[in-house]
Amino acid sequence: MAAPAGHELEGLRVESLEEDYRRAGLEQWSDHRLVGGVADIVGHPRAGVEDSFVLHAPLELSARARLLPLVEARSRHRARLRIAGIAARYRTYDPIDTASIDDVVIDTASIDDVVIDTEFDDTNAELLRRLCDAVTEGDQTETDRLGRLALRRLPPARLVAALRAFVVPFTAAAAHAPIFFHHLERSERLTRPSPGLLRPMLKALASEPGCRFRWTDEWVASGASDVPGIRSALASAPAERITAHTLIHPIMMEMDESGIATEFLGSVIGQRSDDAARAVLRVAAQSMIDGDTEHAAYGWTHTLTLPQALLAITATTAQAEIGLALAATEVLAFRAAFGNPPLSERRLDDLPAIAALDVATRGACHHDAHVAKYVLACLDAADDDPEAAMLYLAAAAHLLELWAQGEQTPEPDLGRDG
């Protein structure tokens, strides 16, 4: 049997990436093969405490894979090197010992409820229940073992659909799990991230199983959402009541536990609608443009990427209202933590024209994972909300310009909350 594509990337080194890339003949590989080879490496979780790079690697790979077809021809080599570089750097971390999955016995005599969005036979429903239990119990070894078994037994699309409801309230893994599910569901076949990348993401969730939103546990949407009220609530985030943080989980937990989310959003969030979702994401994009530059790279980027993913993966599910409420919570939390910048009342048609090709190319070639993720989020939002397309492209261009001007510095080690 042929070795997996990832095996052929084992010789890549960070310090001699381009030389190794050419020596291995990777310029002859298709985009699909290159992405798949990197996924074979990144899909094997790393041991010990996961730093920001390890946490983001599956997301960075999926974002760069989706950007690649949008890159101008003369910059494709550089964009592909960025993808290969993920494998080179990921290999410098020690992999976990992989427990055997051959002795996993699925008992279908008693199947408890598991939050899934699709129907499964008894055996697979029990497997998913046990997988979710392993995550919530913080058992990383069992999580990985059952996750690999689920990947072996279930079609990727069904597994993703089943688990997306489960990951919605988590703020562990810096609340990033929904982004990966969002990328999986929006990707075209040739650049679709490997479902095997779920392994490190599930392990990260199991590392901090108690980290989740709780204010919506007893909340029930009543009537239609008040769209102007949502914008007004987000614009008036109570900055004086949130302690200054730079890490995502503490920000979200303070917002959740303080009662601020209920106070500001409980009466304006109702049934999910496209208008309500657009209101949340437009405020998120404006926050990048109007907010201070200190938080642009690792704060205002998340203000869009996180709620966008929640809205996307819950849009057609029974959790649509929860997705809207938590997406708005995230925007409110970031704005409160980062000084609640005033929202300018500029007209959308007054924004400068910005070429999506230029933004996509610069994002795909940029070294920072958050830039790649944010640019892709802006392009997705522009497609979903054409009326505000220039707003999202302007936000992406603003971030890129800050980096070009040296306003942003390399990311610190943010640990699991990066």
pLDDT of 417 reads 42
Residue 396 inside a domain? The answer is: yes
Question: Is 12 among the domain residues?
Answer: no
Residue 278 has pLDDT above 80, yes or no: yes
Residue 322 counted as domain residue: yes
Question: Does a structural domain hold residue 175?
Answer: no
pLDDT of residue 208: 86
Q: Is 68 exposed, middle or buried (0-12, 13-18, 19+ CB in 10 A)?
A: buried
Single-letter amino acid, residue 295: H
Q: What is the pLDDT of residue 407?
A: 66
With H, G, I as helix, E, B as strand and everything else as coil, classify residue 170: strand
pLDDT tens-digit series, residues 169-178: 988 887 888 9
Region 348-353 average pLDDT: 69
Residues 6+ apart with CB under 8 A from 44: 95, 96, 98, 199, 200
Please indicate, yes or no, if residue 138 is contained in any of the structural domains.
Answer: no
Residue 344 has pLDDT above 50, yes or no: yes
Mean pLDDT estimate for the chain:
86
Tell me what the mean pLDDT of segment 320-347 comes to. 91
Mean pLDDT over 112-121 rounds to 50
pLDDT at 126 (0 to 100): 86
* Residue 159 counted as domain residue: no
On the question of pLDDT at 412 being above 60, the answer is: no
* Confidence check: pLDDT of 161 > 50: yes
What does the pLDDT read at residue 259?
A: 92
Q: Assess if residue 392 is contained within a domain.
A: yes
Whole-number pLDDT of residue 70: 94
Tell me, what's the pLDDT at 4? 54
What pLDDT sits at residue 211? 87
Is the pLDDT reported for residue 50 higher than 70? Answer: no
Residue 111 has pLDDT above 50, yes or no: no
pLDDT at 349: 67
Rounded CA separation 329/347 (Å)? 25
> What is the average pLDDT across 131-159?
88
Total domains in the fold of the chain:
1
Say which amino acid occupies 231. R
Q: Residue 389 carries which side chain, given as an amino acid letter?
A: A
Quote the pLDDT of residue 98. Answer: 67
What pLDDT is recorded for position 284?
97
| Structural domain boundaries, residue 376 | 227-417
The model's confidence at residue 5, banded by pLDDT at 50, 70 and 90, is low
Overall average pLDDT of the 392-398 stretch: 95
Q: Is there a contact between 374 and 56 (Cβ–Cβ < 8 Å)?
A: no
| 73-94: average pLDDT | 95
Q: Confidence band (pLDDT; 50, 70, 90) for 200?
A: confident
Task: Yes or no: say if 237 and 336 are a contact pair by the CB < 8 Å rule.
Answer: yes
313 is a domain residue: yes
The residue with greater pLDDT, 352 or 231, is: 231
- The proportion of the chain whose per-residue pLDDT surpasses 90, expressed as a percent, equals 55
